[in-house]
Structure 1
């Protein structure tokens, strides 16, 4: 397993992208944690996955198709009646552009 060393430049870019301002102590701890993560991922590359189909989801996912049905129908008149101001079956709104 190759040992991963994260450079100061990579740490600076990581801080910038994550919008973090780390102290020297926090930066060093983060560097160590990131190196552990890279080591773990590198270790996963040693697994023999020959013949193993990639997994998309842990749970079986099936599309549920349903017939489209209109459930509320034409409520235009009822909705216009709720407006505080209306004219000729339409909403009446204040003029916003002269």
Structure 2
């Protein structure tokens, strides 16, 4: 894949970046060298390599999954003007 001057200008316009002709020419060259490196990476055979999330094998830290009420009900309704059994009381708005 090759990036030409028109593509650089279009991407710059979409990104709302002001790019002069000289800058666009330099960017096209740099983008082409980056894409060339990516094409080199595609040549590597990774058919027997499993995907990994880290370079070092490690176990994710997990907390116990248990259902609780959070022990915060009293704190949550503390500033409410009217409550009953840890529920907010609101005026009736529908007849």
**Normalising TM by the smaller chain, what interval?**
0.5 to 0.7
Partner of residue 82 from structure 2, selected from 71, 79, 86: 86
Unmatched runs of 5 consecutive residues or more in structure 1? none
**Are 2:34 and 1:34 equivalent residues in the alignment?**
no
Normalised by the length of structure 2, the TM-score is: 0.60
Q: Which has the higher contact order (CA 8 A, sep 6+)?
A: 1
Structure 2 residues without counterparts, runs of 5 or longer: none
Which residue of the partner structure matches residue 57 of structure 2? 60
TM-score where L is the length of structure 1? 0.58
How many correspondences in the alignment? 90
Aligned-pair Cα RMSD in Å: 3.4
Of 19, 22, 45, 2:42 maps to 45
